[in-house]
Every structure is written in structure tokens, then in C-alpha cells.
């Protein structure tokens, strides 16, 4: 498309005539082609990864140095990203609730609160030891309203 060695028309004018940005023309020049040594290292990284998928770039660097290759961690990390390899490790599971005891019922559902001091809560928590040695937590939550008082009592056992 764009001829770089043309003296009659500049690269800028050629890009205008073709309707192409000059940055895309110059970026094509900058595309890197990996050296033969890097390609060899990438093949070796792929072979090692199939045997040890839990190796990150640090352990992979140590393994390659033991094999006699002169590599540093930045080079191995770049090549692993280029291939699309990532170590297998437990990732954070942020979508699950930590413990079920934190889930509490919403007691005001369906209650129309239309004036001040209509709803008051009193939370009483009393831990005590039972006869078999298990600790038991009694939690009593009281909802006091003028129209209809309601008392909820739920027990949580922990061993």
C-alpha cells in the first residue's frame, strides 16, 4: 500500500490519499519479530509449562537458568505473556459470603414507616455454656411498634 522508498510522494501524502492514519503506517514498522533464541526459549517454556503448570515466571526463570540459558525474570515474564501462559494458583473467591451467620433477616420488610420513633430495635445477645460443653449464643431481637409488637428469637449453636 504505502511505498517507503518513493521520492515523488511523501508518506504523509500517501496516507492521506489512502485514508489511513500515519500512526498505523509507522506502527507496522515497529512490529517486533522475536529472535531465534527467544523462539527457542518460548518452546522450552511451553514444554516446561505442560509438565509444571504451577510454575510462575520466577520458578520458570530458575528452571531455565539451571538448563543453561542466560535469562532474567523480565524476559521470561514477557515471553510467558506473549505465549499467553499464566501459573495456576488459587485465586480469590470474592463472590461467596464468608460465613452464613452474617446473613440476617430483614425485619422491616412490608412495614410502612410514616412517622418518627415508629420503629425501635433492641438487640440482646447472651452467650452461655450448655451442659455438654458446647457454647450457645441466644440472640433475641425485639421490634417494638405502637400498632403491633413482634418478638423474634433465634438461636445459633457453635461447637
Residues 59-77 have a mean pLDDT of: 95
pLDDT-based confidence at residue 140 (cuts at 50, 70, 90): very low
- Residue holding cell 430483614? 106
Taking the whole predicted model, whether its pTM rises above 0.75 is answered as no
**Sequence ranges of the domains in the chain:** 11-83, 109-158
Q: Of 127, 49, 47, 124, nearest to 88 (Cα)? A: 49
Residues 89-98 have a mean pLDDT of: 75
Residue 60 has pLDDT above 80, yes or no: yes
Beta strand extents in 5-144 (DSSP E only): 120-129, 135-144
d(Cα 48, Cα 111) in Å, to the nearest integer?
Answer: 63
pLDDT tens string 77-93: 999 999 999 999 888 87
Beta bridge partners of 128: 136
pLDDT tens string 123-137: 555 555 556 555 544
The residue that leads in pLDDT, 121 or 92, is 92
Amino acid at each position: 500500500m504505502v511505498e517507503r522508498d518513493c521520492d515523488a510522494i511523501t508518506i504523509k501524502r500517501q496516507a492521506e490519499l489512502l485514508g489511513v492514519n500515519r500512526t498505523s503506517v509507522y506502527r507496522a514498522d515497529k512490529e517486533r519479530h522475536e529472535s531465534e533464541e527467544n523462539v527457542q526459549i518460548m518452546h522450552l517454556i511451553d514444554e516446561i509449562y505442560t509438565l509444571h503448570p504451577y510454575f510462575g515466571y520466577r520458578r520458570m526463570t530458575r528452571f531455565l537458568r539451571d538448563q543453561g540459558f542466560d535469562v532474567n525474570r523480565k524476559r521470561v515474564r514477557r515471553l510467558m505473556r506473549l505465549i499467553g501462559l499464566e501459573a495456576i494458583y488459587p485465586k480469590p473467591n470474592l463472590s461467596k459470603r464468608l460465613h452464613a451467620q452474617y446473613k440476617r433477616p430483614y425485619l422491616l420488610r412490608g412495614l410502612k414507616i410514616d412517622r418518627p420513633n415508629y420503629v425501635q430495635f433492641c438487640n440482646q445477645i447472651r452467650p452461655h455454656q450448655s451442659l455438654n460443653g458446647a457454647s450457645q449464643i441466644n440472640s433475641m431481637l425485639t421490634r417494638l411498634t405502637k400498632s403491633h409488637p413482634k418478638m423474634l428469637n433465634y438461636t445459633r449453636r457453635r461447637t
